[in-house]
Amino acid sequence: MITPIEATNTYFQRAAQLLGLDAITIRQLIIPFREVKVECDIIKDDGSLAIFIGYRVQHDNSRGPMKGGIRFHPSVDIDEVNALAQLMTWKTAVVNLPYGGAKGGVSCDPRTLSKGELQRLTRVFTQKVHDLIGPAIDIPAPDMGTNAQTMAWIMDEYSKFHGYSPAVVTGKPLELGGSEGRDAATGRGLLYAAESLFADNHVKLSSLTYAIQGFGNVGSWAARLLYAEGAKIVAISDVTGAIRNPNGIDIPSLTEYVKQNGGIQGFTGGEAFPLEDLLFEPCDVVIPAALGGVLTAENAGRVQARFVLEAANHPTDPEADAILQQKGVILLPDIYANAGGVTVSYFEWTQNLQQFHWNAERVNKELRHIMQNAYKDIREVQTKYQCDLRTAAFALAIDRVSRATMLRGL
């Protein structure tokens, strides 16, 4: 199986070749600025000692402070963190935010830790990296297994060393300087990206049918916002199960059901089917919004949709990408399609630095503006190089980062 870093490097190399970058520049752009591995020891509630390994990879800072989430998950390792850090560099550059890329995580299963244990682990991790992060250096955010509460603990721990510093993390609770609209931001960014893509392809968002994999933060917001625009969601899944309904699923009822029951399984507003089949349902648009690596050489041929919108990070292997292209599927790549989250994180950081609070209307308006501009920029590059949207997005990002690197000098 191809690893996340191999997939990211393949996409990077393809675009770097198109740009005609020399070997030294390529090396400079690929090698991370800094990789940190730390031991995080905590006393568990039962008095025993538990040892965890934490990581922070800071990939590139030529365009601004580095930005990226912190993941608490058993699969966290240096390879995955490296790939995700590099993706963040290209993501922030595609949407033209004044940031570089980073990612971090602790290899642990947060579901087996109490709230007190999670707080201790978060604080120890922060102690180990506090002098390597900061509002002008590297700004973490939530990712899988972490949330607004985790960010509140990081902010508190960091502030003990450096003074009150809300801008050191984003995705905070509103009470501690979080931004309006952060929760919905990735799903909303996907909606705005889809609007640009469909207008460009002369189709109406509300005339298409959708299948969405994942009903967590990103999938559920994407579903709710698309539904509100009149879109027909014909299939949807989460880890508990999948349902389909050719007449369209009632998303507000499903949202209420999932809130009460913890998952999609058992929802009666559609027919249950195997969740492995979600991406291959007959529909116009498929939205992977759960896991990475779900579209592979083995299964990509089964995709029936005309559009794939990558809400999840790296859902498509390079071999699958090639198969989809051959089939004529139009794919909106993750580094653009799910950039709404980091964009509103940028708004949060801006508000924190200015000690000024924006309302939701302003947040959404600025988000739409950024997503629309980025789409235009990607299309310009696509026209210039006659390539697919992913290669164009990578080329746009790599060009911006390499120019900044050159201008700053050695």
Catalytic residues: 103
Count CB neighbours of 244 within 10 A. Answer: 20
Task: Choose which of 198, 215, 358, 394 interacts with ligand NAD (CB under 6 A).
Answer: 215
Q: Which is nearer to ligand NAD, 92 or 338 (CB)?
A: 338
Is residue 106 within 8 A of residue 40, CB to CB? The reply is yes
Q: Which is nearer to ligand NAD, 85 or 218 (CB)?
A: 218
Q: Which is nearer to ligand NAD, 144 or 320 (CB)?
A: 144
Residues 129-188 that bind ligand NAD (CB under 6 A): 144, 186
**Burial state string for 344-360 with b = 16 or more CB within 10 A and e = fewer than 16:** bbbbbbbbbeeeeebee
Q: Provide the 10 A C-beta neighbour count for residue 296.
A: 16
| Cα 193 to the center of its chain, rounded Å | 14
Q: For the sheet containing 100-107, what is the strand order?
A: 34-43, 49-60, 100-107, 66-73, 138-142
The structure tokens 């949330």 sit at: 147
| CA–CA distance, 290 with 270 (Å, rounded to integer) | 20
Per DSSP bridges, beta strands 271-273 and 241-244 are: antiparallel
Give the one residue of 64, 98, 135, 216 binding ligand NAD; rule: CB under 6 A: 216
- 15 part of the interface to ligand NAD, by CB under 6 A: no
Token readout for 381 is 């590059």
- Smallest gap from residue 342 Cβ to ligand NAD (A): 7
Sign of the CA dihedral running 110, 114, 118, 121: negative
Nearer to ligand NAD, 62 or 213 (CB): 213
Which is closer to ligand NAD, CB of 5 or CB of 21?
Answer: 5
Binding mask 297-336 for ligand NAD (x = CB under 6 A): --------------xxx-----------------------
| Cα–Cα nearest to 87, from 399, 398, 387 | 398
Binding mask 90-129 for ligand NAD (x = CB under 6 A): ----------------------------------------
User: CA torsion sign, 214 to 219 to 223 to 226?
Assistant: negative
Q: Is 218 in the site for ligand NAD (CB under 6 A)?
A: yes
Read off the tokens for 397: 């990002």
User: 217, 316, 364, 402: which one contacts ligand NAD (CB under 6 A)?
Assistant: 217
Q: Least CB distance from residue 314 to ligand NAD, whole Å?
A: 8
Does position 237 bind ligand NAD by CB under 6 A?
Answer: yes
Size of site (CB under 6 A) for ligand NAD: 22
Site string for ligand NAD, 243-282 (x = CB under 6 A): --------------------------------x-------
Q: How far is the CB of 109 from ligand NAD (least distance, A)?
A: 14
Question: According to the binding rule CB under 6 A, does residue 377 interact with ligand NAD?
Answer: no
Contact yes or no for 390/321 (Cβ under 8 A): yes
The DSSP-derived string for 169-208 is -SS--GGGTPPTTTTTHHHHHHHHHHHHHHHHTT--GGGS
Q: How far is the CB of 258 from ligand NAD (least distance, A)?
A: 8
d(CA 192, CA 2): 31
Q: Which residue is nearest to ligand NAD (CB)?
A: 216
Interface region with ligand NAD, contact rule CB under 6 A, candidates 34-42, 108-116, 214-222, 352-360? 214-222
Binding to ligand NAD by residue 213, rule CB under 6 A?
A: yes
Binding-site ranges for ligand NAD (CB under 6 A):
144, 186, 213-219, 237-239, 275, 289-292, 311-313, 338, 341
